[in-house]
Amino acid sequence: MILKLIFIVVNKPQFLLKMKQPLVKPNADADDKELQELIKFYDETLGFCPNSIKTMHHRPRIAHAFIEMNKAVMENKGRVTSALKRLMAYLSSHTTGCRYCDVANNNLVSLNYTQNENVLTNNGRWFAFDAAEKAALDLAIASSTVPNSVSEEVGENLRKYWNDGEIVEMMGVMALFGYLNRWNDSMGTQMEDDAIASGKHYLSDKTDWSVGKHKY
């Protein structure tokens, strides 16, 4: 009976799952100077402070550790550009089914980097990318499926175009957003109004995107 219930829950489409409120609400302490500095940093660099960061800040060390990891992973070292990393992160989140990370952490930022909304809605049709980029995007999807589907074929193709350090950069992105996907879907992080508007504008009529559990 327990196994049957687990099967039903695991296979229930994410957009059908509902929560009355987030598992933990974001820290909203206006007197917390550290939190306010954090919000200011994100306002200046991202355009808004994700609710996920505010939730992590109930334990500040977790929030700051995540921020340092985020900086290290998203740092531009060369050929693995910021735009490619953000696109890989978007695909990872979309593959995992995290509606929040689809938009809040990727869509708005990807548009800022690429200035091309069509790059977000190819849905696996990689006609707009060169062979090296296609190999990276295939890795993004294969590394984000459960169970993991990175194969020798994926690896061999990836190594044709990218060196060890570049592949490590890419996997850093995949691991970072694996953390975020698990965090935001489990927490039921409330999606910000601007992110909802962006998702509706850029994704709703072109993909299966919806707000899902992230609206209260």
| Model confidence pLDDT, tens digit, residues 30-83 | 899 989 988 888 888 777 788 999 999 999 999 999 999 998 998 988 899 988
CATH (one of 3.30.70.1520, 1.10.3720.10, 1.20.1290.10, 3.30.360.10) for 79-209: 1.20.1290.10
Q: What does the buried/exposed string (b/e) look like for 130-151 if buried means 16 or more CB atoms within 10 Å of the residue's CB?
A: eebbebbbbbbbbbbeeeeebe
pLDDT one-digit tens code per residue, 96-155 = 888 777 665 455 445 444 444 444 444 445 456 889 999 999 999 999 998 999 999 999
Domain locations along the chain: 79-209
Say how many C-beta atoms besides its own lie within 10 A of residue 121's C-beta. 14
